[in-house]
Amino acid sequence: MKGILAWIERSGNKLPDPVFIFVWCIAAVIVISAISAFIGVNALHPTQVDASGNAVLVNAESLLSAANIQRLLIEMPATFTSFHPLGYVLVVMLGAGVAERSGLLAAAMSGAVTKAPTMLLTPAVALIGMMGNLAADAAYVVLIPLAGVIFAAAGRHPIAGIAAAFAGVSGGFSANLLPGQLDALLFGITEAAAESILPTWDANIAGNAYFIIAMTFVYLPVIWWVTDKIIEPRLVPVIPGQIESSTAGSIRNPDSTLNPNEIKGLRYAGLACLAVIFVWIILCIGPGTPLINEDANPEARFNPLFQSLVAGFFLLFLAAGWAYGQAAGSINDHRDVVRMMSEAMADLAYYLVLAFAAAHFVAMFNWSNLGLIFAIKGAAILEGSNLPDSILLTLVILFGGFINL
């Protein structure tokens, strides 16, 4: 293998496990903090002032000091359990685990794809792939092979369907019509990072909604065009008559994919979703409602609603998955629900190990004050560069995209 892509693949394969990437980052922060504290690195805080009205001087703190070593060892359990993304992901996954293991998400994807009109098959598969990303790995397991089968049933090359589904599911990490598990993770990371400068700042799980919704309609035509105009024409044509073609307005009758119990389960799941949404609306209407802070200023009035969305998605997934499972027969009693939740937590075992390392990296980075000092000095450099806002925003996006590699 040659070329830049081969080099990227080889370089990526040489990277250590993400857990140990955080371990090495912690080691680097310890060394840098000790050196920075020794040479007296500091910066003036942009928003905090002392009793005299002067800006607070922020000094770099050595993580090898007796106080910080004591803090690390004493607060280790609290550092782990107070890691923002941890609670958000665990709560959402308790509900999503029931929705996934009851068969709701797989049935919803199967039913949606099989009812797609032939002429809109590619964009339908791509869109359902993006939405199916809410089901995490289940979307890869269920939708991608299903898309190949349905493309074949439509007389098209199955590899084209697999490519469209894979692009949709992968693109779903940054494009969707609804916030999902990744938003819960990013929500916590963003809040933890922002609080290093503004301790009182609060994020909400729907904070990225405008972007992911907009990107859905950017990715959709791109996947459609690339699949139909670039990928499929380069594939070996299917032999006429070898694959049954669909001449009707849709690929196949959904009953051939979903049995009556599954169809009934989807109806019950839809009603359960509507019930949860209705309850949330009721909690936001009228005086004294718990999800609206009427005494706060207009900007903070809806903070309780935003902060309740993690619990809302947990209940939405749980209610829909339970209702589907009862109707479809995959859930017999509450013990099945508890088992599904337990299995979902078991799937997060690696994430817990990763979160432990990440939590200590974030905490120790904050204890050293390096993040705050770098942010202050970096902002001063950008301000002194006199670059237009559009260029600064572009650089931030490119930098974020590079880190995301």
Q: Is residue 28's pLDDT more than 80?
A: yes
Rounded to whole angstroms, the Cα distance separating 127 from 217 reads 9
Q: Which residues pair with 387 in a beta bridge?
A: none
Rounded to whole angstroms, the Cα distance separating 303 from 11 reads 43
CA angle 327, 329, 331 (to 5 degrees): 95
Residue of 61 and 285 predicted with greater confidence: 61
The predicted-structure confidence for 195-226, as pLDDT tens digits, reads as follows 666 666 666 667 778 888 888 899 999 999 99
Rounded to whole angstroms, the Cα distance separating 394 from 245 reads 47
Whole-number pLDDT of residue 4: 72
Mean per-residue pLDDT, 168-193: 73
Mean per-residue pLDDT, 33-37: 95
Whole-number pLDDT of residue 404: 62
> Whole-angstrom distance between the N-terminal and C-terminal Cα of the chain?
20
Write down the residue that tokens 């706060």 correspond to: 296
The predicted-structure confidence for 105-148, as pLDDT tens digits, reads as follows 788 877 777 777 778 889 988 888 888 766 655 667 667 877 88
Mean per-residue pLDDT, 271-281: 93
Closest CA to 224 of 319, 151, 127: 127
Phi, psi of 252 (to 5 degrees): -160, 165
Closest CA to 245 of 121, 356, 105: 121
